[in-house]
Chain A
Amino acid sequence: MNIDFSTSIPIYLQIIEEFKRQIVTGELRPGDKIPSQRDLATQIKVNANTVQRAYREMETMGLVETLRGQGTFVSQNQGLVEETRIEMVTNLVDEFVRAVQALGLSREAALDLVKNRFSELEAKKEVRDR
């Protein structure tokens, strides 16, 4: 795992976000083993207590499970990937909506813009992928 830390946001939250991202993109699959707390701490050079806090939160959230003596694993829980994806996208959408409101664009205009951008960016991607 490689985290480019912004130190103005709590580090344990950034660790959780990185695991969520990996779960949503499929880099980590349900049942996969994740690094031990100490290994991750050493790898990203972060205080082990911070990593412990991230793991504890992820357990509470149901993202991972720790099996005594075996390690920590991504939850097998059905729907975890989809739920996490929706949650992460919702956060982005919330940010977008607030920014649009602050800039004074109407809901209709913003939604039209979103549709147009989707079409344009997808067209560009198709050209690039060809």
Chain B
Amino acid sequence: MSKAIQALQIRNLRKKYSKVEALKGVDLTLPQGEIWALLGPNGSGKSTLLKCVVGLVKADGGEIEIFGDSPSRRRKGQIAFVPEVENLYRWMTVRQAVDFTAAFYADWDGARVAGLLEFMGLDQNKKVSSLSKGMRARLKLVLALARKAPLLLLDEPFSGIDPASRDRIVEGIVRQFKSEEQSMIISTHAVGDTEQLFDGVVFLDEGTINLQGNAEDLRNQYGKSINDLFKEVFA
């Protein structure tokens, strides 16, 4: 029997910023075709972990395999990463931001964009600077979902945005996510009412994973929602 290839396999990943140990030997497995939540309070190491996978941060030790290969230039092209920080030029219109991003990626699916923008309630002619934080978050998601990247990493897409935008983003992911060809990790410090989105969850606390598993199995095992488990683990 051949071993199933995982979307992402991380072993003993370590990273230290001067004296602060951001990741203290993290092991993580993301099965193909699933959406996992990377949960933890601010400063738990979520962003560092994602950035190590994308190659924006160099780990001090450990292994990362993406679809069974060690990271390479080619592999990086297969990852769509949405950082938490604002990465849009504010002087552009929505249309310009779309065209600008499209120019970078060979896997861009232009046919998807119009429908996504409409679903998200984004006006193509509006300036990025005139959009609310929630609308900018929606636009960032559109730019990631418009790519056919097999691995999507979203860093805190729900952070500090209005409930309506959060709902749209959850629904947008449910609509667009193709489990036959994509896998996804979404980091968040608040599970709230987004937990029905996840196949699995990873609890990261001060650089250490203290619980991970299939979301339905965890609900069954503990008789608790992921949100309540989260509160308990980080109490």
Contacts and interface: CB of A to CB of B under 8 A. Distances in A.
Interface stretch (A8-16, A20-28, A106-114): A8-16
Nearest to B220: A10
Interface in A42-70: 42, 44-50, 52-53
B226 interface: yes
Nearest to A44: B196
Contact of B219 (A9, A41, A49): A9
Interface string B41-81: 00000000000000000000000000000000000000000
A46 B174 contact: yes
Contacts of B228: 8
Contacts, number: 57
Contacts of A6: 225
Interface centre among A5, A44, A49 (most CB of B within 10 A): A49
A53 B216 contact: yes
Interface string B26-40: 000000011100000
Interface residues of B, number: 25
B contact patch SS: helix
B174 A42 contact: yes
Nearest to A12: B216
B195 A7 contact: yes
Contact of A8 (B175, B199, B223): B223
A27 to B, nearest CB: 23
A10 B170 CA distance: 19
Given A7-B219, A8-B219, A42-B174, A49 B226 contact: no
B105 interface: no
Given A41-B174, A44-B196, A47-B35, 12 more contacts: A6-B225, A8-B223, A11-B219, A45-B171, A45-B174, A45-B196, A47-B199, A48-B174, A49-B33, A49-B34, A49-B199, A50-B216
12 contacts: A5-B196, A7-B226, A8-B223, A8-B225, A8-B228, A9-B219, A10-B216, A11-B216, A12-B216, A42-B171, A45-B174, A52-B179
